[in-house]
Every structure is written in structure tokens, then in C-alpha cells.
Structure 1
Amino acid sequence: MKKLICIFLLLSGFCLTAIAQKNSVYLFAYFKNNGQDGLHLAYSTNAYEWKALKNDSSFLKPTVSKDKLMRDPCIIRGADGLFHMVWTVSWKDKGIGYASSKDLINWSEQQFLPVMAKEDGARNTWAPEITYDAKTKTYMIYWASTITGKFAETASALEDGYNHRMYYVTTKDFKTFSDTKLLYDPGFNVIDATIVQNGKQFVMFLKDETREPAQKNLKIAWSDELTGPYTKASEPITGQYWAEGPTTLRIGKDWMVYFDKYRDHRYGAIISSDLKDWKDVSDQISLPKGLRHGTILTITKKELAKLQTQ
């Protein structure tokens, strides 16, 4: 009898998972050009073929910071049921943009979060992302910044002398925030981190931005806690091309990582079942023309239907 019950529960769990996948779709939040026109969205039912929504026009135009850009949008569904989004507002500002929405159509008033304002030498605040820690019921917002004079051992005169590390704040309500702290110093210039949970661990996908000698590839680090410490970065998981802006999703037992092959003016993707051995599937994906750095989340078919009316 116990074996029968176990089999029933296992099958029920499988069915529930199958039903959840059947009723959901993937949504890609991204920007185009310099991010001046705002948020773009595309969807996919199989994670390979993506179609732009709203004729690939903007769902939300940027209003904050003097540059009023909306680059590198990151959207997650919060524990409160709201969609929370952060983005890069400028190439040289000391803060990021934030807004929330119930339906991805109607957004709250955009806010400027001055997360690097207390750092006199901060030159930028790039590619912010949000990850939720269910154990502590806390959101972590993290991004890449260069602070003049810090980490001189990895400084380069090339690419305007940028020499980034990852920084973060935490919040439980997007109203009050912790002080800014250093999240990750891998011993090299690092940008474009995205963190997802894998069992009891957190996995950070990141870009090694080293210019001399050029790396410009994606790597992985792990931690038992969302706020770190994270391990030494892995060997590159991408090939002999320059890659940036990773975003990832799970398809069954597989991990799929999308990224911008920005020198080749095209998007790439790799897939792995163990986060160690990776297969390039770039020739199998199809994305809207001009899609730039963004993030992927899962929404329901009902939510997609509303987006398709726009």
C-alpha cells in the first residue's frame, strides 16, 4: 500500500508539473538600440522561438535620471504577486530605475534608487538584477560598478579604464533598503551577473570583462547564501567569441543560458544538464531583430493573452 501511495504521489507531482508547464509561457524582457524607448517584451512556448509583442514597440517609456534610458531590464515575479523591475538608467549615473506592476502593462511611478550615491568615486551602475531568497523572504538587487581607485591590481587603461565589481542592497518591500555592500570580487573586472537558485545553492552566471588579455566570456560561481560568499569563478562556459548579458531558465532537467554575442550582432545560447558540460545551441534559437540584454521569466497564458491585446 505504501508503495502504491508513493507512486501515486510521484505521478501526481509529475502531472502537476506538466500542467503548470502547459499553462505557462516564457517572457523575454529586453531593450533595443540604446534603451531610449523603453521596455520591449517577447514570448516563447518552447524557449527556442521568440515572438515580439506589441509589434516590438515599447511597453513602458523611461522617465527617470537625466539620460532617461531603460537598458538591461530585469523583471521577476515577487512573493507579493507583483512584477518587480529594475534597469540601467544611464551610462554614468549613481543609481538605477525601479517600478512594479500587476500585469506588465500598467506600471507604478518609476523611481530612481541612488544605490551608489554614497560612493564619491562611483562612475556607473550597470545591469541591475533582482533575486529573491525565500528562506529569508528578502530580495537582493545587485549590479556592476566601477569605483575610481579601487582594485588597482586589475586596472586597465583600455575601455575608458572601467574596472567593475558586483555590489548589492537588500530589501523586503522595495521601500526601505540596506546599505550598499560589495557582493563579488572574483579578482578580475566583472559585470552582468545573474543569480538563480539551484536546490540549496545559488548559482551566479557572470561576465569576465577583462580586456588585457581579453576574456569577454561567461563563467559561473556558487554560494550557499544569496549574499555570498561566492566561490572562485569557473572556467569559461562560452566559446571563442565575446559574450555578455547572460539570462537563464530551466527546461526540465536542463539549464539554458542566453547571451548577447555583441560583436557578432546576434544572440547565442548554450545548454547543460549539470552546469559543467555545455552544448552550443545558438543556431537553434530565433529572437526579435535587435534584441539586447534582458531577462527571462515565466508567465501564465492568461497573462500573455492580456499582453497580446496591447
Structure 2
Amino acid sequence: MSVLLSRLVATVVAVGLLFTTQALTTPQRAAAADPGYLMVHFIGEGATGQQMYLSHSTDGLHWNDLNGGGMVLRSTVGTRGVRDPALVRSPGGDKYWIIATDLCIGCGQSWDDAQNNGSRNLVVWESTDLVTWSQPWLLNVAGAIPDGRNAWAPEAIWDPETNDYVLYWATNATLNGVLKHRIYYARTTDFRTITTPRLYIDRPGTQGIIDTQIIETPSGVGNYRYVRASGDGQITLEGSNSILGTWTELGNLSGIGLTGSQVEGPMWMKFNGRNEWALYLDQYATGGGYMPVLTTDPSRPGAYRKQASGSYDMGGTKKRHGWILNLTAAEESRVLARWPNTAINRLQSYNYQDRYVRHTNFDVRIDPNVSPAQDAQFRLRPGLAGSGTVSFESVNFPGYFLRHADFDFQLARNDGTSQFAQDATFRQVAGLADSTWSSFQSYTYPDRYIRHYAYQLRLDPITTATGRSDATFRVTG
């Protein structure tokens, strides 16, 4: 069967299955149904920078930070830091996963530690709507690899030949007497269990390879169904007609002055409505973050062209190795509504004005000199349970809200239940002790207000002058 005929048959099968490989070309939808793009990424080193952030673009070249540039997901497992995320949409569009490197440089772990005795796990989140995410879990992918020392830069692509995902990542391991990073793969349907890992990509000699991302190209573009870009000393391009089949080296981007010593973290994006792609590359050598190079044929190295610095805008935060999803209209509406650029505020006590509401080990109290400062920072979101109300979302534990349980306060993850929504929703009213300040009335118990007692936050009925002072706060920056 000719290559062209093979690709036509595969295309017909793909349409019938409505499969999704990744953000770039599938699901195939009309341009009007794909209004924008969502990037998931990290922004730098340290416990705060190595978390999950989102940015949005309407044209694929000019990006706006969502959530005011703040994190949207925080890892509470493994090293408690995450890098190099991939955002995977299920074939039916009814489930999503974020898979990321379990790594926190500068959080008690050095680069040498990370390479030679790092986490063998990936961090995974799951969602059914792209805005409410599960608790993260660890997926051990490198533990079964002989001398496997870490697991970095995961990616996944739907394989229509076997109706599952090919999950692939880099592991530093000794093979044939050579210790270096190679790409391994396993199959999965749920990112909870995987098949036995196998070697996927190896380079000759001591040359390692870490970052690889695959796209599917439509029929009529180039000579290959799949193209992958890899960081292996160059930004190497390869083509294949099967994800796990034979791959042909096509060349690299050194012809436009981009080598693996300058850039890493290749991240593909297909422009909506036309056969044009951006390959985003992380300028790690200069600390410059991502830059796009554009092409009308991902399989032809000579077709790539750099963009002038003024032709794109990466937004307020530095974008580091991530993934871009072409959004549907419904997805975009949900995402933009969930993470608007809401201001960051603190709640100052009226009668102890050096103290602020803060969380510590998920308990809630008022304290002076809060450290880290983010423990006392919240975004006042529209109330989870009703209009005209507010809910308090933690800045450094996004998705976690102040809620009462048996009238005691805690910082807890929103579990999506109506009970949680009601317990985390309040009416902001004039301050009970000073009308220029604020008090917060319970949504479910209107005779009770947020107040501190022995510096702990409680939900109590207020009947005395002391109680009115304890239940009065200033919303301040």
C-alpha cells in the first residue's frame, strides 16, 4: 500500500473514531469552534516557580497570564514541585490529565541529585472539565528501568492503532555501559497504571536526549503522519507514519541559528484554521523563556523561520517548558471564568491590627508577621454557592478555600460538592464594629459570622461588643 493511500485510510479511520492525539491538530474542529489557546507551564525555580501556571492567547503569539500570573495548581506529593507539564485531552473530550516532572530544584534538591537520585515518579492531575482538578497522584514510571535514576519531561499521545496512550519521558540510566538520558515509553489508558517501560529513543555514543514532543500532521502536509522535535544537542526533527514505528531523521534547526546549547523544551502549536505551526523553544541558556519559530511544514527544517521580537508577547511571567491546547469555545469559556485576574488581598483584624488571617498546616488563625507572606494572601472569588457572595481562595494553595466544619475553620480543597460550596461561601457586609470595615456572614448560618477567638478562626453568633470587634476585618492588599 502506498504511503499516500495509507495516510488517507488512517485519516478516515481517525475521523470515525474521533480520536485526539494532542493539543495541536485533534480533535479536528472548525476554526470558529477553536477560538483560542491554553498554555500550561512553570515559570522558574524554587517552590513557587515550579508549580502549574496557565496562560491564554487568542492568536497563538500574544499570551496573557491567567489568575493574575499566580499558580493554578500546586503539587502536594513527591518533591512538592513540578516542571515540564503536558496537558492531555481524551479522545471524547470528556477527560483531561496534566502529567509533569516531579522535581523541585532549590527546594533541598540539587541538579546532581535530580539526575542521579531523583524521583522515579511523574505527578498526575485529572479533570472532567479543565477547571476542577483532582488531588495529584504519583505514577512510578522509572522504577522498573534497570539503574533508572529519574523521570523527566513526560509527554503523551493517543495511538489510534491500539486505542491507548503512548506515555514517554526521559530517564537517566546505564545501558550497554553508558550512563545518559534516553527516552522510554509505556502504554496507559488512565495514567494510573502502565505497561512495562521500554526504550523509545536512544542517540549514538554518549549523546543524551531529554525533551521530545510529537505532533500529528494532516494529510497533504509533508511526507509523514507524525513529526517529533527533540533536544539532543540540537533541536532534531524526525518523521514517521506510526508512533512506535521507524523514525527518519529530517535535520535540525541549526540552519536558523538554534541549537540544543541555546534552546530546549520544544512545544508545538498548530494555528487554528490554517496549516501553519509554531514550535516554541525555551531559551534556557540566556534565561529568556519561550520564543516561537513558525513553519508551514513541520517535517522540513528549511521551512522554519524565526520571529522578530516584537511580533510575539509571552506575557508577564517567564514561560518554561510546557504544552499548548487548542481550546473549544466551551473550554475557553470555562477556563477564563475560573481564572480571571482577581486581585490578591489580606484580611486584617480590627482589634489586633498587626494580625492577619492566615493558614498554617491547613488550620486558620490570625497572626502577626506572617511567613511565608503567601499564607495570608487570598483571592476573593465570586461565592461558590450563590451570587452576591464571596469565597476565599488561597494564593499559594490554589483550589483550596477557607471553609468551616463544625464551625471551626480550615483551608480545604474544593471537592466540588454542594456542602463544600455552602460552607465556603459568605456575604460581605458592613463591619459589625466599624461600618467602614467588613464582616462576613455565613451563607448557611446567617446568624453566624467569621470571627477570631483566642486567635483561631471560628464561625459564631455575635452578641457582644467583643464579638463584634472579633468579627470585623479590613480587606487590604
TM-score, structure 2 normalization:
0.55
Structure 2 counterpart of 1:248:
268
- Report sequence identity in percent: 27
Structure 2 counterpart of 1:87:
100
Q: Give the drift of 1:282.
A: 5.2
Q: Give the drift of 1:35.
A: 6.5
Structure 1 counterpart of 2:45:
34
- Change beyond 3 A, Cα 1:151–1:78: farther
Do 1:184 and 1:230's aligned partners in 2 also have CA atoms closer than 8 Å? no
1:178-230 deviation per Cα after TM superposition (whole angstroms, max 9, x unaligned): 1100111132311110011124622111111xxxxxx3x31111222212332
| Corresponding position: 1:72 with 2:84 | yes
In 2: Cα distance, 1:193 partner to 1:279 partner:
20
TM-score, structure 1 normalization:
0.82
| Corresponding position: 1:286 with 2:304 | no
Structure 2 counterpart of 1:6:
none
Superposition RMSD on alpha carbons, in Å? Answer: 2.0
2:136 to 110, 116, 121: 110
Structure 2 counterpart of 1:189:
208
Do 1:30 and 1:39's aligned partners in 2 also have CA atoms closer than 8 Å? yes
Aligned to 2:245, the other structure's residue is in SS state coil
- Change beyond 3 A, Cα 1:35–1:222: farther
The alignment of Structure 1 onto Structure 2 pairs a total of residues equal to 276
In 1: Cα distance, 2:258 partner to 2:188 partner:
38
| Corresponding position: 1:131 with 2:150 | no
1:103-131 deviation per Cα after TM superposition (whole angstroms, max 9, x unaligned): 23211231111111123411211110111
Do 1:76 and 1:85's aligned partners in 2 also have CA atoms closer than 8 Å? yes
2:332 to 290, 293, 304: 304
Q: Give the drift of 1:138.
A: 1.2
1:58-110 deviation per Cα after TM superposition (whole angstroms, max 9, x unaligned): 11110221x11111111021114211111000231112111211223211231
Aligned to 1:258, the other structure's residue is in SS state strand
In 2: Cα distance, 1:140 partner to 1:280 partner:
31
Do 2:235 and 2:258's aligned partners in 1 also have CA atoms closer than 8 Å? no
Structure 2 counterpart of 1:207:
231
Structure 2 counterpart of 1:5:
none
What residue ranges of structure 1 are gaps of 5+ in the alignment? 1-15, 156-162, 209-214
Higher-RCO chain (CA-CA 8 Å, sequence separation at least 6): 1
- Change beyond 3 A, Cα 1:89–1:221: same
Give the number of the structure whose alpha-carbon radius of gyration is greater: 2
Give 1:286's aligned amino acid.
Answer: D
Do 1:70 and 1:89's aligned partners in 2 also have CA atoms closer than 8 Å? yes
Q: Give the drift of 1:233.
A: 5.7
In 1: Cα distance, 2:295 partner to 2:238 partner:
15
Aligned to 1:256, the other structure's residue is in SS state strand
Do 1:249 and 1:296's aligned partners in 2 also have CA atoms closer than 8 Å? yes
Aligned residue runs from structure 1 range 35-74, under 5 A? 36-37=47-48, 38-65=51-78, 67-74=79-86
In 2: Cα distance, 1:253 partner to 1:304 partner:
22
Do 2:144 and 2:196's aligned partners in 1 also have CA atoms closer than 8 Å? no
Do 2:145 and 2:197's aligned partners in 1 also have CA atoms closer than 8 Å? no
Do 1:183 and 1:228's aligned partners in 2 also have CA atoms closer than 8 Å? no
What residue ranges of structure 2 are gaps of 5+ in the alignment? 1-28, 104-113, 219-223, 340-477
